[in-house]
Chains A and B, each alone.
Chain A
Amino acid sequence: MSERADAKGAEEAPRANAMTVLSYLLGGLAFWGFVGWLADLALGFETLFLPIGLLLGLIGSLYLIITQYVRS
């Protein structure tokens, strides 16, 4: 079997595994939520940047999931 055919075989496999999608969602919320929380702490706000960070993280995660797994 040629190398090209091998690569094709690998490509046909289900690429979007649920764990990666889940880790995108967790990663987005965790990272940008943390950045928002830090910003609140540094700038002395109660909760202003935390929800903004969470929202940004969620949007980023969904964007990644769509570009990496839905469209391709």
Chain B
Amino acid sequence: MYSAAGEEGCHLFNDFGCGFEAPGTSLFFPTPWVDFGLPMTSGITKYALVLVVALLVAAGFWYFTTRNAKVVPSRGQSLAELLVGFIRDQITRNTMGKEGDKFLPLMVALFLFIFSMNVMGIIPGLQLPVTSNLAYPAVLAIFVFILWNAVGIRRHGAGAHFKARLVPGGVPAWILPVVVPIEALSNFVIRPATHMIRLFATMFAGHLLLAVFAAGGWYMFNLFGAPNIGLGLLSTGFSAVALIGFLVFTAFELFIMAVQAYVFVLLSSIYLGEAMEGAH
């Protein structure tokens, strides 16, 4: 009985001995370098390092593209302007109207920060999307949730803001006991939760998929270890398919990373626009 790697015995070993070990969720729980021993904390792990790199990349992007800002933009400055223009025209103006320009710096910063955190997943050597740990999207989503309340309360007053978010407009009074709890749960629990989980889950799943392709390709590359050259070529063929899949999915993942950053910002912007608008 041969495995896909064309092996009778063993050509790669893992923690448990011989054979293929599919990458699992342990990828997302790196061993802490410094452990404070506090309950419910993970200590300083690779995530913290990659987060700092992502932050430096995002900050560096703005520093190098805008430090010599001119009326006729350089190449870097054009790129920065393109990004700001894209977020203004596609997101903030669309969801909040011209008033949304107030939130443009926040949205642009959020987009670039999330995108650089995501992209860390395909940077050789780092290869860990920061957003694949629920804590990081959670902080961002909770921040947007607090801002959503703050904007609504400041614009309409606490009473009107919560009324608009709890009592749907155009609904007869006798139906209210049924729909008010739904509206409350939806607006104050499920929406912030889905906001964070959507980003986390796509990055988590995407990274796991890439890891499976890479590990499979590596494992099946067994040209000389196989009992005969035919099996060796066959296993190398399998390996090539897996590695081509890895490259294709890496490109696809890069696209998904940008899309998810865009969607996170778009949803934040829709929520803030709704808080500004008040009752509907």
Measured CB to CB, the residues of A under 8 A from B are 1, 6-10, 13, 15, 17, 19-20, 22-24, 26-28, 30-32, 56-57, 59-61, 63-64, 67-68, 71-72
Contact = CB atoms under 8 A, between A and B. Distances in A.
B95 A10 contact: yes
Interface string B158-182: 0000000000111100010011011
B212 to A, nearest CB: 28
Contacts of B169: 68
B186 A20 contact: yes
A20 B188 CA distance: 11
Contact of A23 (B93, B171, B194, B280): B194
Contacts, number: 87
A63 B181 CA distance: 13
Given A23-B190, A64-B179, A10 B277 contact: yes
Nearest to B94: A13
A72 B178 contact: no
- State the majority secondary structure of interface residues on B: helix
Interface stretch (B65-73, B96-104, B222-230): B96-104
A57 B190 CA distance: 15
Interface string B37-65: 00000000000000000000000000000
Contact of A26 (B170, B190, B270): B190
B280 A24 contact: no
A49 to B, nearest CB: 15
29 contacts: A6-B98, A7-B277, A9-B98, A10-B95, A10-B99, A10-B276, A13-B94, A13-B273, A15-B280, A19-B195, A19-B267, A20-B186, A23-B194, A24-B183, A26-B190, A26-B194, A27-B184, A27-B185, A27-B189, A27-B190, A28-B182, A31-B185, A56-B178, A61-B182, A64-B168, A64-B179, A67-B171, A68-B169, A68-B280
Interface in B75-115: 93-100
Q: Which of A20, A32, A56 has the most CB of B within 10 A?
A: A20
Given A1-B98, A6-B99, A7-B97, A60 B190 contact: no
A72 B280 contact: yes
Task: Name the interface size band of chain B.
Answer: 20 to 34
Contacts of A28: 182
B198 interface: yes
A64 B183 contact: yes
B97 A27 contact: no
A63 B186 contact: no
Nearest to B193: A23
A16 B102 CA distance: 23
Contact of B93 (A7, A9, A57): A9
A19 B185 contact: no
B191 interface: yes
A30 B184 CA distance: 12
Contacts of B98: 1, 6, 9
Contact of A6 (B97, B183, B187): B97
A63 B176 CA distance: 11
A59 B186 CA distance: 15
